[in-house]
Chain A
Amino acid sequence: MVRIVVAMMVAFTAALGIAVACYPGQDAAAGRYRFCYDFISALGVTRTPGGLDNHRASLVFNAALGLAMLTLIPYWYLRSQHVRRAS
């Protein structure tokens, strides 16, 4: 399970990089993803506030985020089994 979660984290980081590369920027003037000015969830919008099409980054980001979160649920179950009982 630990290996699956590690693989998921590596894959998610790679997908995040791809989504950042595909993101067209908030508007035509920005032109790219700006680390300090754009939220991470900006990568998931289908259309940017400036009206630019963002379906590619949106697809990659939302699919990777959704899969990563579903993969984590069995890990949380395993991990929570090693929490002490309240005494």
Chain B
Amino acid sequence: MKLLAFLCCAGFSLGVFGVALSPCDLRPDMHNLCIYTAFALIVPGVLLLLLASDRALCGWRYRVAWAGFAVALLLCELYLVTLVSHHVLPSRPVNPLIQKANVGVFFAWMVADLWLFNAFLNRRESKLCGSLRA
């Protein structure tokens, strides 16, 4: 499980690194491949980090809230993309806004995860110091 979570998230990072190396005007096929790979990997990666983390890191309400939000967001995006593909909605501004929503949500999740992880590490360190003093 640990290895799978790491591979998904590291694969995402390498995918986006590939996006930076292949601007869409120079290597459009490579650019799109990297984007789709990164997106396909980060969804299970984040869900694994979220749902299978140590219980001391975050509570079940936090996990369920993020997971529920992620599923609702993906379903909304699927619906919007379907409407775009049937020419009910224009691809612009719908697709660029979907992309920004995804990046914004990922950024917000990163901030929350870093906050919780830092607090978890601090608690563990202070517990360790306390037991060493005793």
Contact = CB atoms under 8 A, between A and B. Distances in A.
Contacts of B52: 83-84, 86
A2 to B, nearest CB: 4
B95 A39 contact: yes
Interface in A34-83: 35-42, 44-47, 49, 58, 61-63, 65-66, 69-70, 72-73, 76-77, 79-83
A62 B120 contact: no
Contacts of A63: 20
Nearest to B6: A80
Contact of B19 (A5, A65, A70, A83): A65
Contacts of A84: 1, 52-55
Nearest to A48: B25
Interface of A: 2, 5-6, 9, 35-42, 44-47, 49, 58, 61-63, 65-66, 69-70, 72-73, 76-77, 79-86
Please give me the 3 A-B residue pairs with the lowest Cβ-Cβ distance, nearest first. Answer: A36-B93, A66-B20, A76-B9
